[in-house]
């Protein structure tokens, strides 16, 4: 059944049926559903390569798939220095062989031009490429074949020297700041930024180097070491976001029995958190995030129309952010509804690991969730599998209790803790 479904689905392009005389870039340009991909291929200067003899199999994210990503992330990828990352992402979607759907169904994984692997599986009659579902299969080209998929696939993170340096500086600077030594924290942060500005081989562009230079000058003119540390830290977070598309929480962590806080309370910053609504699947639920006086307020209304019913707030965490912890502790005040704490191995990973928690209307409560108790879900369906502390790259707060109506939850803190301490 799967083979019949996938191997007979052919995309009609605006000029008629795709012909084998068209190359893969020509097929994509004419499809009407791959405009963002065509733009990305042009920005990465891969059009010539994908017009070559091949053969290639391209898993092509549709425009709707790209729409799942933050527009600012896409913009950053299309410009320097994001194009290096863009090239790796795009080649992660290309296999140096011609593989029709019937070939893929009999395989467990394929190797890409990026040197990465993509897992293959079937779920509910659909072919899955990692977490992406194939929407249209077997679009023939003169130099290969195209399969349309419903999301952008992100390759495994590479070791990045800039990321390694900055995370090491943050790891050393945060305890100094929290223990009352902001001057020492400033020294660590400034040294790291100066190394990036003066050293070679970091891969930063002129704009970033000049930004670091301005940051160092601005910080030196500020007599408050605490504020100076934040000037440095915001620059470091900006570099990390552009280099690795990782939005680290712009907060210094409070000293607290080994806890590590992943909540954006400093200066009412909300940039580290964003909302994801059921509108991505046609639903009508709403959700907004607001931070006041160090408390995040997540409000909105869930609607069951169009098979909807969920609203979610999400933040990303850097590699190793949860290392050494075995539980997540939250201080929340809800409305009596049941919420979900979710964790992911990446921003666009289809699998989310859930733990539900109840709230008491109008009362502050502390919720502690062992990471080992979080259950794997994929498109809302429970699946086997667990997540470890070292694998967590994103946190989420869901309202998904199959009820319609307004919701409101306030969050004072979210901490990675070790209950064994």
The domain that contains 390 carries what CATH number?
2.60.120.430
Whole-number Å distance between alpha carbons of 421 and 417: 9
In a domain, 253, yes or no: no
324-351 burial by CB neighbour count: b if 16+ within 10 A, else e?
ebbbbbbbbbbbebebbbbbbbbbbbbb
Same domain for 9 and 137, yes or no, is yes
Same domain for 214 and 122, yes or no, is no
Model confidence pLDDT, tens digit, residues 311-335: 888 887 766 778 788 899 989 999 9
Burial class (CB in 10 A: 0-12, 13-18, 19+), 269: middle
Final residue belonging to a domain, choices 216, 245, 274: 245
Contact between residue 68 and residue 192 where contact means Cβ atoms under 8 Å apart = no
Same domain for 281 and 334, yes or no, is yes
Domain CATH for 53: 2.30.180.10
Domain with 72, as residue range(s), is 2-149
Q: What is the pTM of this model?
A: 0.44
Same domain for 304 and 386, yes or no, is yes
Same domain for 19 and 138, yes or no, is yes
Upper half-sphere CA count for residue 101 (Cβ side, 13 Å): 27
Helices (H), ranges, 8-79: 24-31, 35-43, 47-50, 63-67, 71-78
Give the model's pLDDT for residue 188.
94
DSSP-based helix, strand, coil % in the chain, nearest 5: 35, 30, 35
Token pair, residue 77, equals 């990828």
Residue 169 CA, distance from chain mean position: 23
Same domain for 355 and 378, yes or no, is yes
Same domain for 134 and 7, yes or no, is yes
Model confidence pLDDT, tens digit, residues 187-226: 999 999 999 988 876 778 788 888 899 999 999 998 888 8
Q: Which helix (H) or strand (E) is 2 found in, with range?
A: helix 2-7
Same domain for 107 and 191, yes or no, is no
The residue ranking higher by pLDDT, 5 or 260, is: 260
In a domain, 411, yes or no: yes
The residue ranking higher by pLDDT, 142 or 282, is: 142
Give the model's pLDDT for residue 3.
36
Give the model's pLDDT for residue 254.
31
Q: In the predicted model, is pLDDT for residue 19 greater than 60?
A: no
Token pair, residue 262, equals 């992943």
Ordered DSSP codes for 380-395: TEE-S----GGG--EE
Same domain for 268 and 411, yes or no, is yes
Final residue belonging to a domain, choices 101, 123, 149: 149
Ordered DSSP codes for 289-328: EEEETTEEEEEEEE--GGG---EEEEEE--TTTTTT--EE
The residue ranking higher by pLDDT, 380 or 254, is: 380
Beta bridge partners of residue 339, listed in sequence order: 357
Q: In the predicted model, is pLDDT for residue 154 greater than 60?
A: yes
Is the torsion defined by CA of 268, 271, 273, 276 positive or negative?
Answer: positive
Same domain for 185 and 270, yes or no, is no
Q: What is the DSSP letter of 179?
A: T
Same domain for 385 and 287, yes or no, is yes
In a domain, 154, yes or no: no
Give the model's pLDDT for residue 124.
72
Mean pLDDT of the chain, nearest integer: 79
In a domain, 353, yes or no: yes
Q: Count structural domains, the chain.
A: 3
Contact between residue 11 and residue 31 where contact means Cβ atoms under 8 Å apart = yes
Q: Which residues have C-beta within 8 Å of that of residue 4, sequence separation ≥ 6?
A: none
Q: Please report which confidence band the pLDDT of residue 146 belongs to, taking 50, 70 and 90 as the band edges.
A: very high
Q: In the predicted model, is pLDDT for residue 282 greater than 70?
A: no
Residue 329 CA, distance from chain mean position: 22
């Amino acid at each position: 059944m799967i083979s019949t479904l996938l191997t007979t689905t052919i995309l009609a392009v605006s000029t008629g049926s795709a012909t084998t005389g068209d190359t893969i870039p020509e097929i994509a340009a004419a499809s009407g559903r791959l405009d963002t991909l065509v733009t990305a291929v042009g920005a990465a200067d891969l059009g010539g390569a994908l017009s070559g003899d091949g053969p290639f199999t391209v898993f092509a994210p549709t425009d709707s798939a790209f729409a799942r990503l933050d527009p600012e992330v896409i913009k950053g990828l299309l410009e320097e220095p994001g194009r290096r990352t863009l090239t790796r992402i795009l080649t992660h979607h290309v296999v140096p062989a011609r593989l029709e759907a019937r070939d893929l169904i009999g395989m467990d994984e394929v190797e890409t031009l990026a040197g990465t692997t993509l897992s293959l599986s079937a779920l509910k009659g659909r072919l899955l490429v990692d977490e992406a579902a194939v929407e249209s299969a077997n679009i023939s080209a003169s130099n290969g074949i195209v399969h349309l998929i419903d999301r952008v696939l992100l390759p495994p993170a590479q070791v990045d020297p800039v990321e390694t340096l900055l995370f090491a500086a943050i790891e050393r600077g945060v305890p100094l700041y929290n223990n009352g030594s902001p001057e020492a924290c400033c020294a660590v942060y400034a040294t790291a930024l100066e190394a990036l500005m003066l050293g070679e081989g970091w891969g930063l562009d002129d704009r970033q180097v000049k930004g670091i230079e301005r940051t160092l000058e601005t910080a030196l003119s500020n007599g408050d070491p605490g504020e100076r540390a934040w000037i440095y830290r915001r620059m470091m977070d900006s570099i990390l976001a552009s280099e690795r598309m990782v939005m680290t929480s712009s907060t210094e962590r409070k000293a607290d029995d080994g806890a590590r806080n992943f909540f954006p309370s400093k200066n009412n910053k909300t940039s580290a958190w964003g909302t994801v609504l059921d509108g991505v699947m046609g639903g009508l639920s709403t959700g907004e995030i607001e931070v006041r006086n160090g408390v995040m307020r997540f409000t909105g209304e869930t609607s069951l129309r169009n098979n909807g019913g969920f609203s979610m707030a999400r933040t990303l965490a850097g590699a190793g952010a949860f290392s050494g912890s075995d539980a997540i502790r939250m201080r929340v005040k809800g409305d009596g509804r049941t919420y979900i704490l979710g964790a992911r191995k990446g921003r666009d990973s289809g699998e989310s690991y859930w733990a539900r928690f109840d709230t008491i209307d109008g009362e502050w409560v502390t919720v502690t969730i062992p990471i080992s108790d979080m259950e794997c879900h994929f498109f809302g369906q429970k699946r086997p599998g667990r997540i470890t502390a070292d694998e967590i790259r994103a946190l989420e707060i869901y309202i998904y209790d199959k009820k319609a109506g307004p919701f409101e939850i306030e969050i004072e803190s979210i901490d990675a803790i070790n209950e064994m301490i």
